[in-house]
Amino acid sequence: MFSTQELSYKYDVSKKTVSRDINEIRSFLSEYRDIIGNVDIVYDRKRKKYHMNIMINQL
Question: Domain-by-domain residue ranges, the chain?
Answer: 4-55
Of the two residues 41 and 58, the one the predictor is more confident about is: 41
pTM: 0.83
The sign of the torsion formed by the CA atoms of 18, 20, 25, 30 equals positive
Single-letter amino acid code for the residue at 58: Q
Q: Which residues pair with 54 in a beta bridge?
A: 39
Question: pLDDT of 17-55, one tens digit each?
Answer: 999 999 999 999 999 999 988 999 999 999 999 999 998
In three-state secondary structure terms, 56 is coil
